């Protein structure tokens, strides 16, 4: 029986359902019966933060909803349509399984940035929202000698295999233009003597930016990823972003810049698990990615070092200059300030007989200043471009801050400044406070927000 015929048959058997409209059909793989998700009554406005969806089993006369309306918090709804970012890694692959187990209608999406990968994820599917997607041709060719990133042809093929195994639709999105913005940011920051974090901006601009635009185009209610973080309603019914259950894999830091109103439409299925549990589950499910290494490199830097990539992409004059000590003594030359970050100890290009660190990078003079570790200590920092996931009145003066992805959280006093800036005064001086990196504020496990270190 066709979907159209099923809808007609269902409508005929559901005369008791008031104002039945916008029916959509869903099938749980080979499991029967077929269910319909139907919108009943008057659609609520976005401001009301409600979604009056009810589920009715095909062939049943009962008209009572099988789930409760969303009260404004993070209510996980059965049978929701979910767009899942699939990178070909174990985390997003198991996330797909978990979402399917919860009964969701999952659409797998691989984000292709067009800078290096031949595509291994073209699809011949004619069902679902494929017409709304830019599908990439498998005839395209490019380099295959990638580092362990997250957007290679092999990654796309891994993601496609998982999608096939789970029987979910899978599409490739051509996000070349959006990724070009991230590359420009990456190059500009390094050229300015700052240390960028393109993974955070990818989350802000693409994974939880452009993917929501795509989700809206296919009438998906949620966007999901394989990040290790959690989402839970707080006492006031707002959705809170929390640290992941696995402290060693927690990724809430890289999610601080997401627009607050998106939190209620996000799903993070693996956030309640330890990484070891996710790998065990992948093995149990027979997934080929169960033992796949985690991505370690920036996906668009296909080979070589970051500084080489920057030099090959910038249009400005070179940034070569002097290596100097904190007292101004010239001790060497360097090829460009893009090869350094504050706190760096290795590959300085000069041997001084004792460990030295990059204390600061001076863009105007193109000098890289080297010093002892204690000269890295900073009692305070300021940050710009803040983004908060709570109301300003809820930001405590005392909180914990994290100045790098792998840095431990430390106690600090926070002051909100004008023009979307903040000041953090550490209880104890911190080492390696690098301009361009994010500082993220926490209250216990909750991510409050943060900004970009000046």
Token pair for 409: 């959280």
Helix or strand run (H / E) with residue 267? strand 266-267
Got the DSSP string for 337-357?
Answer: GGG--TT--S--S---SS--E
Q: In 10 A of CB 290, how many CB atoms?
A: 17
Coil, strand, or helix at residue 449?
strand
What distance in Å separates the CA atoms of residue 107 and residue 186, rounded to the nearest whole number? 30
399 tagged catalytic: no
Strands (E), 58-127: 81-85, 105-112
Query: What are the angstrom distances between the C-alpha of 187 and each of 14, 156, 329?
Result: 59, 26, 29
What distance in Å separates the CA atoms of residue 266 and residue 252, rounded to the nearest whole number? 13
Q: If 0-12 CB within 10 Å is exposed, 13-18 middle and 19+ buried, where does residue 328 land?
A: exposed
202 tagged catalytic: yes
Q: Which of 23, 199, 202, 441 is catalytic?
A: 202
Q: In 10 A of CB 183, how many CB atoms?
A: 18
Q: Cβ distance 221 to 70 under 8 Å? A: no
Q: Which one, of 361, 353, 331, 328, lies nearest residue 432 by Cα? A: 361
Sequence-distant (6+) residues with CB within 8 A of 337 are 190, 191, 193, 319, 321, 361, 363, 366, 368
Which residues make beta-bridge pairs with 70?
Answer: none
Q: Which of 150, 299, 399, 441 is catalytic?
A: 299
What distance in Å separates the CA atoms of residue 82 and residue 211, rounded to the nearest whole number? 11
- Side by side, the strands of the sheet bearing 330-334 are 330-334, 321-325, 367-371, 357-362
Token pair for 407: 């840095």
Q: Cβ distance 212 to 262 under 8 Å? A: yes
Q: How far apart are the first and last CA of the chain?
A: 62
Please identify every residue annotated as catalytic. 202, 299
């Amino acid at each position: 029986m066709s979907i159209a015929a099923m809808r007609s048959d269902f409508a005929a058997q559901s005369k008791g359902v008031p104002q039945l409209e916008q029916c959509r059909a869903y099938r749980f793989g080979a499991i029967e019966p077929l269910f319909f998700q139907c919108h009943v009554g008057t659609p609520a406005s976005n401001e009301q933060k409600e979604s009056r969806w009810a589920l009715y089993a095909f062939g049943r006369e009962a008209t009572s909803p099988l789930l409760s309306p969303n009260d404004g918090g993070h209510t996980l709804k059965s049978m929701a349509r979910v767009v899942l970012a699939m990178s070909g890694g174990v985390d997003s692959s198991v996330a797909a399984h978990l979402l399917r187990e919860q009964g969701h209608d999952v659409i797998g999406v691989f984000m292709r940035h067009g800078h290096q990968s031949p595509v291994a994820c073209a699809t011949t599917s004619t069902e679902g929202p494929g017409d709304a997607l830019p599908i990439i041709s498998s005839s395209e060719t490019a380099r295959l000698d990638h580092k362990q990133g997250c957007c290679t042809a092999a990654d796309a093929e891994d993601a496609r295999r998982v999608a096939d195994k789970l029987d979910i639709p899978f599409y490739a999105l051509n996000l070349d233009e959006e990724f070009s913005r991230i590359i420009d940011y990456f190059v500009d920051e390094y050229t300015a003597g700052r240390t960028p974090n393109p993974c955070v901006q990818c989350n802000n601009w693409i994974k939880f930016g452009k993917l929501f635009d795509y989700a809206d185009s296919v009438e998906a209610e949620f966007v999901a990823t394989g990040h290790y973080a959690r989402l839970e309603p707080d006492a006031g019914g707002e959705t809170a972003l929390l640290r992941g259950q696995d402290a060693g894999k927690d990724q809430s830091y890289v999610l601080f810049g997401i627009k607050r109103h998106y939190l209620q439409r996000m799903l993070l299925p693996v956030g309640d698990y330890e990484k070891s549990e996710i790998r065990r589950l992948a093995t149990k499910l027979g997934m080929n990615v169960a033992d796949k290494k985690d991505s370690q490199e920036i996906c668009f830097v296909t080979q070589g070092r970051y500084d080489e990539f920057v030099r090959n992409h910038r249009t400005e004059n070179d940034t070569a200059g002097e290596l100097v000590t904190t007292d101004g003594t010239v001790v060497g030359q360097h090829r460009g300030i893009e090869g350094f970050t504050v706190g760096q100890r290795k590959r300085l290009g000069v041997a001084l007989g004792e460990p030295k660190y990059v204390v600061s990078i001076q863009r105007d003079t193109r000098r890289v200043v080297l010093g002892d570790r204690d000269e890295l200590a900073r009692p305070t920092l300021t940050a710009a471009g803040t983004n908060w996931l709570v109301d300003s009145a809820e930001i405590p003066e005392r909180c914990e801050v994290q100045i790098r992805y792998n840095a431990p959280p430390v106690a600090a006093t926070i002051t909100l400044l004008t023009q979307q800036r903040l000041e953090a005064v550490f209880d104890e001086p911190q080492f390696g406070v690098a301009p361009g990196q994010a500082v993220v504020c926490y209250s216990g496990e909750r991510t409050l927000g943060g900004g970009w270190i000046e």
